A and B are shown apart, each in its own frame.
Chain A
Amino acid sequence: MKKTVGRLYLTLVLIFLYAPIATLMVLSFNSSKSRAHWGGFTFEWYLGLISNEEIMDAFRTTLILAFLSAFIATVLGTAACTGMQFMRRRYRSIIMGITNIPMLNADIVTGVSLMLLFIAARVSMGFTTVLLSHITFNIPYVILSVMPRYRELNKSTYEAALDLGAGPVYAFFKVVLPDLMGAVLSGFLMSFTMSLDDFIITHFTQGPGFDTLSTKIYSEVKKGINPEIYALSTIMFLAVLILLFFVNYRPHLDKENVKK
């Protein structure tokens, strides 16, 4: 009895969480443009998507932006964690607090202030400004992911590597980084996802003629929602789902492989 209730509750939660996405997916295969009735199954919107130059352009920009910003943020964030590891506890918690603030800060505040900063510094808006902004808001997510792993790391493995004759850099890449890799990867993925679905900050720091998918969708919506957007969103959702799945199961697969 208890079990049945538990299962029922779980099912309800899952429905609640995924019903909107399921709706979106279903509608992306609906041949009728209406959101209200089912006009039959079609790939039309997916095909239309591929031939829509503007959307494909925005899609490419989004991917490049997400990859670059996540990659740079991961490198910087991991380096920051390494530095913080050698700090006194008090300074470390102060820095941790500071890096957490941008995550809690309202996007619109971050967006507007970044825009003002770029204007004040006379940087012309475009890909560079958006990339810088994305790196900025991604770094805290990397730190959030990497830092706890760092704390539970056996500190003496690094010292053991030095003891056995490794230089500090070699020891870091050979011994410390492999241990952090899971956390670094999930930090990268979190950043990648954050960058993919950011709208507000991009909106304030983009220049004319520059569009990511989210800003593109926003301007399309002004003209009326096109089912192609459903198809696009479905693809994005599945891509992220696959990435997440990969990252969550990676450490597990790693161990299995080595044991063989």
Chain B
Amino acid sequence: MSNKLIDLQNISKSFGGNLVLDELDLYIRENEFLTLLGPSGCGKTTTLRIIGGFETPDTGSVLFEGKDITNLAPDKREVNTVFQKYALFPHMTIAENIAFGLKIRKKSASYIKDKIRYALKLVNLDGYEKRMPDSLSGGQQQRIAIARAIVNEPKVLLLDEPLGALDLKLRQDMQYELIRLKNELGITFIYVTHDQEEALTMSDTIVVMNQGYIQQIGTPEQVYNEPENAFVADFIGDSNILPGIMIRDELVEILGARFDCVDKGFGENNPVDVVIRPEDIDLVSPGEGTIEGIVTDTIFKGVHYEMCVMSRGFEFIVHSTDYYPENIKVDLKVNPFDIQIMHKPESEDEKAVEIDERLP
């Protein structure tokens, strides 16, 4: 997992004066499941299209196994794409769709036949050779699109929000399916999505993007538990983000109360942002916690209750399996390692910290 398979260097791209990617640096390793995650317009799809060859960057270069492919046409690249809207060829049968790339490569008829059967088996759709694309459900069409891409044995599979059009249950099934496929094929997946749950479930590495900048690169655990800044914390899951003052190492003051934490190196009496996940807050009887509050709202969510707790003018979101009725007085308690301290951005448009937390 150590080779840089694809290396994006200093990539910028704008559309009609609108800067979409700003000096982006990113590498993708062999056999990695890397997810580009961010809200719409963050540049994730453009990044994917630059790797696929459908867009040319204004500046910077794309290296594939060390070779510069920045200006190489898409049909000459060793990557294949699964498009958001499937993009199956409507006038061809499933078999013809899957054979499309193989025929261009002038493979023998028997090879193509074997490959079609193998690919259909892989995506659990054996026997669908003669069907037409529009006689298949959305989920089935998506699987065929995947089959059509992988028969060409690409080194990298690019997936552009492939599950975006499917319903929740199907999406969850397909997530496991994709992980299985990736393990069976042993190739690199680059996956684009705006769905944080999808990203957390499937990825080896998550790249969180916003407004053309990489906000954080890390494993799902790192991105969730140690968000680099307020944007990442807010985008990945629910969170309570509040201003605090770092009194000294391992002690932070929030809303006038002092909390023990485990972070160091933020200086003394420096303003910081503090992230506390809703499930990391314990509600206890008055007098037993660090800070007092009153429950203002309780919603049953199935697995847990979601409660709003008003405390010294800040509304905390708390997830708990214990039920607290509205208007009851409680205390809030947080374990030191559940408090995540982040640098405060120095100005509104300060460039996000680009930190690659993967081991080299």
Out of A159, A165, A166, A170, name the residue touching B87 (CB < 8 Å). Answer: A159
Question: B89 near A175 (CB under 8 angstroms)?
Answer: yes
Q: How many residues of B contact A (CB 8 A)?
A: 28
- In contact, A163 and B85 (Cβ under 8 angstroms): no
Q: Is A223 an interface residue (CB 8 A)?
A: no
Q: Is the CB of B74 within 8 A of A162?
A: yes
Cβ of A107 within 8 Å of any chain B Cβ, yes or no, is no
Q: Are B54 and A159 in contact (CB under 8 A)?
A: yes
At the interface, yes or no: B52 with Cβ under 8 Å from chain A? yes
Q: How far is the CA of A167 from the CA of B222 in the complex (A)?
A: 42
CB distance from B179 to the nearest CB of A (A): 23
The answer to whether A163 and B80 touch (CB under 8 A), given A170-B104, A258-B132, A259-B132, is yes
Nearest-CB residue, chain B, relative to A254 = B91
- The answer to whether A160 and B91 touch (CB under 8 A), given A166-B75, A166-B104, is no
Contact present for B75 and A156 (CB under 8 Å)? no
Q: Which residue of A lies closest to B74 (CB)?
A: A162
Distance in angstroms between the alpha carbons of A165 and B87 in the assembled complex: 15
* Contact present for B87 and A164 (CB under 8 Å): no
Do A162 and B73 touch (CB < 8 A)? yes
Chain A residues with Cβ under 8 A from B305's Cβ?
none
- The contact string, 1 if C-beta is below 8 Å from chain A, for chain B 113-143, is 0000000000000000000100100000000
Q: A185 CB to closest chain B CB, in angstroms?
A: 14
Within the assembled complex, what's the spacing in Å between the Cα atoms of A259 and B130? 8
Interface assignment of B256: CB less than 8 Å from any CB of chain A: no
B91 near A179: Cβ-Cβ < 8 Å: yes
Alpha-carbon gap, A258 to B88, bound state (A): 16
Residue A23 is within 8 A (CB to CB) of chain B in the complex: no
A65 to B259, CA, bound (A): 89
Query: Chain A nearest CB: distance from B12 CB in Å?
Result: 21
Interface centre among A170, A254, A259 (most CB of B within 10 A): A259
In the complex, A164→B88 CA distance in Å? 12
Considering the complex, give the chain B residue whose CB is closest to the CB of A175.
Answer: B89
Q: With A156-B84, A156-B85, A170-B104 as given contacts, are A165 and B152 in contact (CB-CB < 8 Å)?
A: yes
Q: Indicate if B231 sits at the interface (CB-CB under 8 A).
A: no
A258–B132 Cα distance when bound, in Å, is 8
* A34 interfacial contact with B, CB 8 Å: no
- Alpha-carbon distance A178/B100, docked complex (angstroms): 15
Cα-based distance from A167 to B75 in the complex (angstroms): 6
Interface residues of A in 155-177 (CB under 8 A from B): 156-157, 159-167, 170, 174-175
Residue B83, interface by CB 8 Å: yes
Q: Which residues of A contact B91 (CB under 8 A)?
A: 178-179, 254, 258
CB distance from B104 to the nearest CB of A (A): 4
- Chain A residues positioned under 8 Å from B80 (CB to CB): 163-164
A154 at the interface (CB under 8 A from B): yes
Most buried by B among A162, A164, A178, A254: A164
Shortest Cβ distance from A13 into chain B, in angstroms?
Answer: 35
Q: Does B17 contact A (CB under 8 A)?
A: no
**Chain A's nearest CB lies how many Å from the CB of B146?**
12
A156 touches B152 (CB 8 A): no
Inter-chain contact A164/B90, CB cutoff 8 Å:
no
Question: B100 touching A161 by the CB < 8 A rule?
Answer: yes
Interface residue from A156, A165, A167, A179 paired with B90 (Cβ < 8 Å): A179
Complex contacts, A154 vs chain B, CB 8 Å: 85, 87
Chain A residues contacting B54 (CB-CB under 8 Å) are 159, 162
Chain A residues whose CB sits within 8 angstroms of the CB of B79 once the complex forms: 163
When C-beta atoms are compared, the residue in chain A nearest to B54 turns out to be: A159
Cβ of B239: which chain A residues have Cβ within 8 Å of it? Answer: none
Report chain B residues within 8 Å CB of A258: 91, 93, 132
User: A residues 135-193 with Cβ under 8 Å of B?
Assistant: 154, 156-157, 159-167, 170, 174-175, 178-179
In the bound complex, residues from chain A placing their C-beta under 8 Å from that of B75 are: 162-167
Query: Are A157 and B152 touching (Cβ within 8 A)?
Result: no
B57-90, CB < 8 A from A: 73-75, 79-81, 83-85, 87-90
Would you give the shortest CB distance from B157 to chain A, in whole angstroms?
Answer: 11
Contacts of A160 in B (CB 8 A): 81, 83, 87-89, 145, 148
> Nearest Cβ distance between residue A4 and chain B, in whole angstroms?
39
Whether B74 lies near A156 (C-beta < 8 A) is no
Which chain A residues (221-260) contact chain B, with CB distance < 8 Å?
A: 254-255, 258-259
Q: Is B101 part of the contact surface with A, judged by Cβ < 8 Å? A: yes
B301 interfacial by beta-carbon distance below 8 Å:
no
Instruction: Give the nearest-CB partner of B152 in chain A.
Output: A164
Q: CA–CA, A161 to B81, complex, Å?
A: 10
CB of B169 within 8 A of chain A?
Answer: no
Q: Which of B74, B79, B80 has the most CB of A within 10 A?
A: B74
**Cα of A166 to Cα of B152 in the assembled complex, Å:** 12
Q: A164-B104, A165-B75, A166-B75 are in contact. Are A159 and B83 (CB under 8 A)?
A: yes
Query: Across chains A and B, which 8 residue pairs bring their CB atoms closest together, nearest first?
Result: A164-B101, A156-B87, A160-B87, A156-B83, A162-B74, A165-B104, A178-B91, A163-B81
User: Hey, which bits of chain B sit against chain A, CB under 8 A?
Assistant: 52-54, 73-75, 79-81, 83-85, 87-91, 93, 100-101, 104-105, 132, 135, 145, 148-149, 152
Known: A162-B54, A162-B73, A164-B100. 14 other contacts (CB 8 A): A156-B87, A159-B54, A160-B87, A160-B89, A161-B89, A161-B100, A162-B53, A163-B52, A163-B81, A165-B152, A175-B89, A178-B89, A179-B90, A258-B93
Q: List 7 A-B contacts (CB under 8 A).
A: A156-B84, A159-B87, A160-B87, A162-B54, A165-B75, A167-B75, A179-B90
